[in-house]
Amino acid sequence: MSDLSSTRLTALRAGIHAASFTAAPETRRIGAEVELLAHDAATNRPTPLAGAGGLIAKLRRIGAHGGWREHAAYDGTTRFDLPDRAQISFEPGGQIEVSSVVCDSPTTLVQALHEVVRTLENGLARDGIELRSVGIDPHNDAPDIPLQLDVERYRRMTRYFDAIGPFGIRMMRQTAAVQLSVDRGEQPAERWRLLNDLAPYLVAIFANSAVHAGRDTGHRSFREKPSSARRKTAITWRASACPA
């Protein structure tokens, strides 16, 4: 970034602002991303993504019976499309991410997500894998979890975060969340501000991550404790909700 002129930076900022805060027709559509920790039920260790017995191979087996379509994302990582329901991808520590299709109501959204998550839970349980909907891994510490998506984007992020403290790789490899997406509407700046103002209340309501690395942290939401280092809200119209 140091080689960018102030004029160029100003132009980039203006472009981001225009794309995010230009008024749009008022609609009530909603979507969500649900992240889940996938642990070996016997050892409480994260399930490896790669290999014959890895998480990707197990989801490939589940998807073969459900009409899922497997493809490679822009960074080469594996994703699964569930027609008219969701897309399944992965986070750097092996967390499963379920991204819903756009829905016309919260009720429709919740029904669609429940269907997908139940399919994952039931299919993976047969292999001794438990999906955990908690804000942060209660059993393992970040340095003990390898970078499972070994792509350039996450290697760069790891180097940057390692240089400034422990919270970056914790966010990348240990945390899970539900992220809500809404249309920006006719007053996008006001809606963006409202979502940011609501975020602390939602964190408090859904806080469920008091345990980390096998010990009680003293915080109902240990995931949110280092918020200044790894907050995942706002400018892409996502409000951090549960799990916290």
pLDDT tens across the length of the chain (244 residues): 455 688 898 999 999 888 888 888 888 899 999 999 999 999 999 999 999 889 999 999 999 988 999 999 888 899 999 999 999 999 999 999 999 999 999 999 999 999 999 999 999 999 999 999 999 999 999 999 999 999 999 999 999 999 999 899 999 999 999 999 999 899 999 999 999 999 889 888 999 999 999 999 999 999 886 543 444 433 333 333 334 4
Which element (helix H / strand E) includes 128? none
CA 56 to chain centre: 17
CA distance 193 to 60: 40
- Coil, strand or helix at 83: coil
Which element (helix H / strand E) includes 241? none
CA 184 to chain centre: 20
pTM, to two decimals: 0.85
Angle at CA of residue 47, ends 43 and 84, nearest 5°: 135
Contacts of residue 3, defined as CB under 8 A and 6 or more positions apart, other chains included, come to: none
